[in-house]
Structure 1
Amino acid sequence: MPTIEEVTEDVPQPTEPETKEKSYDEMTPEEREVADAKLKAKEAAEQATLPYQWKQELGDVDMVVPLPKGTRARDLAVKIAKKKLSAGLKGKEPILEGELCQEIKMEESTWTV
Structure 2
Amino acid sequence: MAGATVAVDTNSDGTLVIRPHGSLDVDDAVDLRRTVVRAIRHDRPLRLVIDLREVHRLDPINVGTFAAACNLGDDQCVAVFLDHPSTTIANQLVTAGIPAHRLRHIGTGHD
Q: TM-score range with shorter-chain normalisation?
A: under 0.3
Greater strand fraction, Structure 1 or Structure 2: 2
Highest RCO, 1 vs 2 (Cα 8 Å, sep ≥ 6): 2
Greater helix fraction, Structure 1 or Structure 2: 2
Please, what TM-score do these two structures have when normalized by structure 1?
0.25
